[in-house]
A and B are shown apart, each in its own frame.
Chain A
Amino acid sequence: MDVRFKIAPSGISVDESGLKFDISDFDGYAVEAALQIKEKQADPAASEVVVISLGPDVVQETLRKAMSMGADRAVQLKYDGPIHDSYAIASALAAELKGGSYDLVMFGRMSIDTANQATGTIAAELLGLPIITAISKLDIEGGRVKARRELEGAYELVECPLPAVVTIDEGIARPRYPSLKGIMAAKKKPLESKPAQVGEERYKLDKMELPPERAAGRIIGEGKDAVPELVRLLKEEAKVL
């Protein structure tokens, strides 16, 4: 069934009724890249992929999906209110990640719903770790990240020591489809839920608006005779000529 995209009465969030949430595309690439790194290790069982999401209980479904793809465990940083400032989100993630002995923290390049792309960068800064953004190819060699970043008509190869933060662009890997076995296994994997230590929001969202609806079309006439009138209207009314 089609669900129409609507803004909630508050005017600063989306009406979520009937909407189904899924992993943001870039986060999906990040999960897949993480799983592939793990699978490439000499002893895959010795490394661990953990997925973390901040949000209300509905994110548990998303975390479960990442675990059905193969992630080992999940953490929900529970937060029910609307949140917009990347700094506030990043500070909650950094609080969770601090002291977690992670070698690599992977973010999607951006969230596709709000087009927000600062969270990973701010988290790296708060954690005091190096960051490489918008990676399209990634290798771990000798304790270092070797990454490729796509530029307009070119690319650059960069590297930095672990531990590090990276944000993942498309093209790195298509996320795998959860298998029936993965789905069942995910149900037994640990999903920890704890309150998010959200930092101060330093900007506020004032208002969301849908683009104005297009006016209905008008038929001016048929054949050659209608052309002068059409040109006049395009000039005077629509002002496009």
Chain B
Amino acid sequence: MTVHLADPDHNTSFTKGVFLGEIRESLVFPFPELSSEEKENLAAILDSFRAWAKDNVDSAKQDHDGHFPDNVRSGMAELGLMGMNIPEEYGGFGASAMMFNRVFGEIGATDPALTVYFGAHQSIGCKGITLFGTDDQKKRWLTKCASGELIAAFCLTEPGSGSDAQAMRTTAVPSADGKSYTLNGQKIWISNAGYAGVFTVFAKVPVEIDGKPKQRVTAFIVNAHAPGVSLGKIEEKMGIKASDTRAVTFENVVVPVEDMLGEVGHGFKIALEILNSGRLGLAAGSARGTRRILDIALGYAKEREQFGRPIGSFEMIQRKFAVAAAECYAADAGWMLTASMVDKGGIDFSLETAACKVFASELAFKSSVDAMQIAGGIGYSKEFPYEQAVRDSRINMIFEGTNEVLRALIALSGLQQPGEHLKAIGKAFRDPLHSLGAIGSFLGERVKRQVVKPSFPHAHPALKDEAEQIATVVHDLALGVEKLLIAHGKDVIEHQFQQERMANVAIDVYLATATLSRASWAINKAGGVDKAQADLDNAKIFIPMAMRRARRNVRALERNQDARMKSLAERALETGSLTVAAPTDS
């Protein structure tokens, strides 16, 4: 199997470097640009999509009806969008990650439920076949996915297995003749289930290892119309209502051995790989969705007058727009930079896509709440788009990896290399006589790190202070990480207060770096700071804001109230209540 996976031994990662106190600047500078041909293609695709959507997509009505009209689904297929990131040789468009995610964003800003339809199909639904399928599998399945004849869905989550994929219960048992597998189990929250013609399903296959029976997670391509496949009723959801979400049950479903994806036991890696790239779309969609709802709020703030002036002239409203503008700038910079990493290849982007997804999904939710607040009473009315934006954007913090699991992923993956490093050093200290060299170089590295800070030589001079702020945080984070690892060793896996802080620092560092890179590019491109004032303003607001948060988190690695926090939480969990006796009790 070709392993595309994040592998620090083969593929370098920006964020994993950050945990080591390094700034791998060549991964993030210069900011990516589109070739003129890509620009033309993108403009033509966006033009066509917008014209079609204007005539066909009614987001509010679809939200109300809870489904897409047929012309919306057929239109997406006729436009060719359902095959956008499927390779050309299998009938798709073969879009780069940059193009795909930009279009993902545009669809997201038009109708979030429609991006779920679009993304569940090819970001995750048939992405496994694109990445890991054999030529025969691609010919049989992908060509039909590309034309939209078959809609794909991704079946990983189960009633007892969400973020913890190892707890999976679905099984696939090989037949005696070795020609097929029999699939049994249930998957839930499956986007596109009702429309699907093909599922990517993860199930445990019994194997024997050293004479002991084991179960290994394996991926399968499953015909959605095969006997034994049944669908649950449509879930009634808070938002993205037009997307079709259901449980899918497999009862003695026979899957021919030709439809096993990858090898037995590779399912978990395959799932991670699919999700690693898939979640970048959510970041792009969230960023563009943020802009759309704030644009609507901007229009309102200019029109709506109170005390004889537009409410947009009041600074409490302006602050909301300013912060959202800077954060949107960062979120866009983040997904674009990451998309270019995906396109370049040879770069481990797993933590960057996670960082972008966490940041942008939280931004989209917060911004839609802010937009609602700016709109006041009408923001709360169903006649206006704000409340739908609040409901629709909320899911992004939950699916394709909850933001909590992604933070743990960022922290624990980030800690891996420093941890291994320290373990080796630990051994060396136990046997110092034979390991003087290793100890010497460790101490030397340490001293060097204390003295030589990492830096961004390619940042624009106008952003020198901001670049330094990021570099200082990277430097301090690595020292904090080292202390933490020395204190806890591998027990750090239990310390999620700390993981959350480290992850938040890493996320802010990555978004700030992307912002630095984008603004530096914009200033150079425009030919001077005075010609790129908006870029400069965005960077000078966002980077210090993010680095203030990051410094607070780094400090809290050492000085915090974690023990007290834990006791509060555990008391509440034990009593099942947050209540403490009060004088008004009765």
Residues of A within 8 A of B (CB): 22, 64-65, 68, 177-184, 186-187
Q: Known A64-B44, A65-B44, A68-B44; judge A180-B81 contact (CB<8 A).
A: yes
A177 contacts across to B, CB distance below 8 A? 48-49, 51-52, 75, 78-79
B80 contact from A22, A64, A179, A187, Cβ within 8 A: A179
Q: List 8 A-B contacts (CB under 8 A).
A: A65-B44, A65-B47, A68-B44, A178-B48, A181-B93, A183-B44, A184-B93, A187-B41
Write out the residue numbers on chain A whose beta carbons fall within 8 Å of the beta carbon of B93.
Answer: 180-181, 184
- A interface majority secondary structure: helix
In the complex, what distance in Å separates the CA atom of A178 from the CA atom of B79? 7
What distance in Å separates the Cβ of B122 from its nearest Cβ neighbour in chain A? 12
Q: A64-B44, A68-B44 are in contact. Are A180 and B52 (CB under 8 A)?
A: no
**Pair A180/B45 contact, Cβ less than 8 Å:** yes
When chains A and B are docked, how far (Å) is the Cα of A184 from the Cα of B38?
A: 11
A-chain residues with CB within 8 Å of residue B372 when the two chains form the complex: none
Once bound together, how far apart are the Cα atoms of A48 and B75, in whole Å?
Answer: 26
Residues of B whose CB lies within 8 Å of any CB of A are 37, 40-41, 44-45, 47-49, 51-52, 75, 78-81, 83-84, 93
Residues of B contacting A68 in the complex (Cβ-Cβ under 8 angstroms) = 44, 48
A183 in contact with B52 (CB, 8 Å): no
How far does the alpha carbon of A178 sit from the alpha carbon of B81 in the complex, in Å? Answer: 11
* B75 / chain A contacts, CB cutoff of 8 Å: 177
A68 to B37, CA, bound (A): 15
Q: Say whether B48 contacts A184, CB under 8 Å.
A: no
Complex CA gap A184/B49 in Å reads 15
Compute how far the CA of A180 lies from the CA of B122 in the bound complex, rounded to whole angstroms.
15
Chain B binding surface, main DSSP class: helix
Return chain B residues, CB-CB under 8 Å to A183: 41, 44-45, 48
Q: Please name all residues of chain A whose beta carbon is closer than 8 Å to the beta carbon of B49 when the two chains form the complex.
A: 177
A214 and B44 CA atoms in complex are apart in Å by: 38
> Nearest Cβ in chain A — how far from B211, in angstroms?
53
**Measured between alpha carbons, how far is A22 from B84 in the docked complex, in Å?**
24
A181 to B78, CA, bound (A): 10
User: Bound complex: CA of A180 vs CA of B84, how far in Å?
Assistant: 8
Q: Which residues of chain A are within 8 angstroms of B80 by Cβ–Cβ distance?
A: 179-182
Decide if B44 touches A179 in the complex (CB within 8 Å). Answer: no
Tell me the complex Cα distance, A143–B434, Å. 98
Determine the distance from Cα of A181 to Cα of B49 in the docked complex, in whole angstroms.
13
Chain B residue numbers with a CB within 8 Å of A181 are: 80, 93
Distance (whole angstroms) from the CB of A238 to the closest CB of chain B:
25
Nearest chain A CB to B329 CB, angstrom units: 15
Task: State how many angstroms separate the Cβ of A24 from the closest Cβ of chain B.
Answer: 14
Cα A132 to Cα B48 with chains together (Å):
31
Interface centre among B49, B79, B81 (most CB of A within 10 A): B79
Q: Give 20 new A-B contacts, CB below 8 A, not counting A22-B47, A177-B78, A178-B47.
A: A64-B40, A64-B44, A177-B48, A177-B49, A177-B52, A177-B75, A178-B44, A178-B48, A179-B80, A180-B45, A180-B80, A180-B83, A180-B93, A181-B80, A181-B93, A182-B80, A183-B48, A184-B41, A186-B44, A187-B40
> Using Cβ atoms and an 8 Å threshold, which residues of chain A touch B48?
68, 177-179, 183
CB-based closest 9 A-B pairs: A180-B80, A179-B80, A177-B52, A180-B93, A178-B48, A183-B44, A177-B48, A181-B80, A179-B79
A180 to B81, CA, bound (A): 7
Q: Please state if B41 and A179 are interface contacts (CB–CB under 8 Å).
A: no
B81 partner residues in chain A, CB cutoff 8 A: 180
A64 to B45: give the CA distance in the assembly, Å: 12
Q: Residue on B with the closest CB to A180?
A: B80
CB-nearest residue of chain B relative to A174? B55
CB distance from A49 to the nearest CB of B (A): 18
In the assembled complex, which residues on chain B have CB atoms less than 8 Å from the CB atom of A180? 45, 79-81, 83-84, 93
* Closest residue on chain A to residue B41 by CB atoms: A183
Minimum CB–CB distance from A54 to chain B (whole Å) comes to: 22
**B93 — nearest CB in chain A belongs to which residue?**
A180
The CA-CA distance from A187 to B80 in the complex, in Å, is 16
**What's the nearest-Cβ distance from chain B to residue A23, in Å?**
11
Chain B neighbourhood of A182, CB < 8 A = 80
Nearest CB of chain B from residue A177's CB, rounded to whole Å: 4
Contacts of B41 in A (CB 8 A): 183-184, 187
Residue of A nearest to B79 (CB): A179
User: How far, in whole Å, are A181 and B77 apart by their CA atoms in the complex?
Assistant: 11
Report the minimum CB–CB distance from A120 to chain B (whole Å).
Answer: 25
Q: In whole angstroms, what is the CA distance A179 to B45 when docked?
A: 8
A65 contact set on B, CB distance < 8 A: 44, 47
Q: A36 → chain B, closest Cβ, in Å?
A: 15
CB closest chain-A residue, reference B80: A180
A202 to chain B, nearest CB (A): 37
Closest to B43 in A: A61
Rounded to whole angstroms, the CA-CA distance of A187 and B446 in the bound complex is 56
> Closest approach, in angstroms, between the C-beta of B303 and any C-beta of chain A?
14
A181 to B84, CA, bound (A): 10
Bound: A98/B75 CA distance, A: 39
- Chain A residue at minimum C-beta to C-beta distance from B147: A181
